[in-house]
Structure 1
Amino acid sequence: MNDIHLVIRTTGERTASVAKKLAIVSGLVENEVTVVNEIPFEVALRACYEEAIRVGRKWTMTLDADVLLADTAVRRLLGLAEQMPSHFFQIEGKVFDKITGIYRQAGHRIYRTELLPLALEHIPAAGAQIRPEFHTITQMVELGYPSRVVPSLVGVHDFEQYYADLYRKSLVHARKHSELLPNVIARCSRLLPRDDDFLVILKGIWDGLLMQEALTIDVRRYEDQAACAMQSLGLAEKQPIVDSDGFVKMFPRFFSDIRSLYPTPDGAVWDHLPALSESGTKPERVQRSWLAKTVGRIRERGAIRGSVAAFGALLRLAGQRLER
């Protein structure tokens, strides 16, 4: 654990303080944790890399403040990072995501610090990419520095967030993860009666599907739109988390409940490899990735039409709930 430094990215998330405390519980010492508060995301990403280079540990973990770590997460993921070949750039586990209801990669990575100066050169300009960090990592892959995704479950994502943040993310997800929309909408309809978060998520998806303009992940972009959405839903914004120590104390039970309620993720290790192998042919995993992207494009067109069609009944359900 002396070989790793953690950089937490925050833009005022409701869980920012508890995310740091949970990271310390997982094995880090407080003076090995830096908090970066920068916007837009591309500036924050650059600040993370620069801070990592300045501190100079072998490994650097970046963590979004909306990811809540399990108590053994950092140690487990670091152990898996140490097993990677020496030219691998970064490793990522999985989190259980509240918006999509699946285990997926989001909000955390462990980087090999010595490669970050090169990565700095490939951070895209603000607004140029909807997934700036993934774009940077893909550029590094093409330069010959692969990445790895492992099935290790490190925590949860987007639980206990402000309504405004859930609205903004759902709005962007309507385009960013359109292939997931049918399942997300069906899940929201089931859980709507017991959790207002899912009412907000549905509203964000609906508004995202109707928008014609290009979407952005800049947290400032949809502040006024989110406020209008909350007013239309009759919701007041959540209060900040005051008792962060109490939250941290109850979190292991909460995390255990998540694991018991939902199946654990696929056990496969996935390597993001350069497009061409030494023989000049595409590796098998890259071929599957290309096929997955092609299928995703086909599904995207169908998913959007199906999602819009399904929203009528869901909006009626939401209206009935608000009338009560």
Structure 2
Amino acid sequence: MVSQHTLAVIIRASGENTLKALIKIIKKQLLPEDVLVVLEKEVCFEDKLKLGFQKAIELNKDFTVFIDADILLRKNALRKVRENLHRLEVKDFGFGFLLFDRFYEEPKFRGFHVYRTEILKKAINFVPNEGEQLRPETFVKNQLKKEGYTWQNHLTRYVAGIHDFYQSPKDIFYKYLVRGKRSQNDIDGLIRKFEKSNVDDFAIALEGIQASKKMDSISNNKYLYNNSENNFRSVKIIDLDKLNVDIITIHNLFKKYKFNSLFWKSLA
């Protein structure tokens, strides 16, 4: 069943290579009553999170989809959002979709969040100040859970697209500078994988993790780390407009799962 609820789609951007391609993909999926907004202000993530919530409340659509600009979506992603809205219970304040992650090489919950807009009037009060939390959005969700609301990450195994593919060296370095601090349970496995690989992206990510080990704390503000030597690395030019995100997603899912049940659930 496809919901008739209205959507606001808000892209949170900070100079990602994939932004323009993502905008084109989303515009093809919007219904006439939907609206798309791109937040590109050069501020820390906490401020961008609050700005997004403020904009969503102002637009006052039934649901708001927040998408980070390091994502590329499959052609039916927003339709899948609508198909899952009716599955939410009254106290559910939203849900996430899986994305195939470039560096983990498996589906992960990343920057794709569908919120019941009405709840954002509460959520905005929980947005932390810069530097107070390593995972600001997770912190907000946890505070809402304490208020009796539920976030659903188990509505579907559908994989909505790809995450962290085709990013710039400086962005990869910063992402893994941050992840080196906030994803402690994953780091040893990632280091082993990256050390065995000859993939340039993985080598840069490894440098980010190693740099994070020398720092006491990391800010969720990439603009504070913009003088990295990775600004000057050569970048392979790819015409992102010609990419078929569905094919790329399916190809990577097949490499991960072959033809087992998770492969088919990821496509549905």
User: Does TM, scored on the shorter chain, surpass 0.5?
Assistant: yes
Query: Which residue of 2 is the match for residue 275 of structure 1?
Result: none
Deviation at 1:31, TM superposition (A): 6.2
> Residues 83, 30 of structure 1: CA spacing in aligned structure 2 closer, same or farther, 3 A cutoff?
closer
Map 1:204-215 to 2 at 5 A. 204-211=208-215, 213-215=216-218
2:88 is the alignment partner of 1:84: yes
Contact 1:81/1:110, CA 8 A, preserved across alignment: no
- Residue 32 (structure 2) pairs with residue 32 (structure 1): no
Q: Does 1:238 align with 2:235?
A: yes
In the TM superposition, what are the counterparts of 1:60-99 in structure 2 within 5 Å? 60-99=64-103
Contact 1:26 1:71 in 2 (8 A): yes
Hey, what's the Cα distance between the residues in 2 that align with 1:41 and 1:169?
Answer: 12
Conservation of the 8 A alpha-carbon contact between 1:101 and 1:187: no
Of residues 132, 152, 159, the one that matches 1:153 is 159
Instruction: Indicate the residue corresponding to 2:137 in structure 1.
Output: 133
Offset of residue 27 of structure 1: 4.6
Question: Residue in 1 aligned with 2:188?
Answer: 182
The runs of 5 or more residues in structure 2 that have no matched partner are: none
Letter in 1 for 2:197: L
CA 1:60–1:119 in 2, change beyond 3 Å: closer, same or farther? same
- 1:47 matched to 2:59? The reply is no
- Give the C-alpha shift of residue 77 in structure 1: 2.7
**Whole-angstrom distance in 1 between the partners of 2:201 and 2:142:** 33
Q: CA deviation at 1:11?
A: 0.6
- Report the AA paired with residue 77 of structure 1: V
Q: Does the CA-based 8 Å contact 1:100-1:180 persist in structure 2?
A: no
Q: Please tell me the residue identity of whatever aligns with 1:153.
A: V
Q: Which residue of 1 aligns with 2:21?
A: 18
- The 8 Å contact of residues 87 and 145 in structure 1, kept in 2 or not, is answered as yes
Task: State the Cα deviation string for residues 105-144 of structure 1 (Å, max 9, x = none).
Answer: 1101100011111111111111111111111111111111
Matched, 1:253 2:247: yes
- Specify every segment of 5 or more residues in structure 1 that has no aligned partner in the other structure, as ranges: 268-324
CA distance in 2, matches of 1:12, 1:71: 23
SS in 2 for 1:83: coil
Q: Deviations 1:4-31 (Å, cap 9, x if unpaired)?
A: 1100000111111111122234455696
Q: CA RMSD in A?
A: 2.3
Distance in structure 2 (CA, Å) of the matches to 1:102 and 1:180: 13
Residue 224 of structure 2 corresponds to: 221
2:8–2:36 Cα contact (<8 Å) kept: yes
How far does residue 240 in structure 1 lie from its aligned partner after superposition? 6.8
What is the identity percentage for the equivalent residue pairs of Structure 1 and Structure 2? 24
Q: Does residue 116 in structure 1 map to residue 120 in structure 2?
A: yes
Q: Does 1 or 2 have the higher relative contact order (CA < 8 Å, sep 6+)?
A: 2
Determine helix, strand or coil for the equivalent of 1:108: strand
Q: 1:240 to 1:135 in 2, by over 3 A?
A: farther
Q: 1:184-207 deviations in whole A, cap 9, x for unaligned?
A: 123223432xx3111101111111
Q: Which amino acid aligns with 1:165?
A: D
SS in 1 for 2:126: coil
- Of Structure 1 and Structure 2, which has the larger fraction of its residues in helix? 1
Other structure's SS at 2:17 match:
coil
- Whole-Å separation in 1 of the counterparts to 2:195 and 2:23: 33
1:7 aligns with 2:10: yes
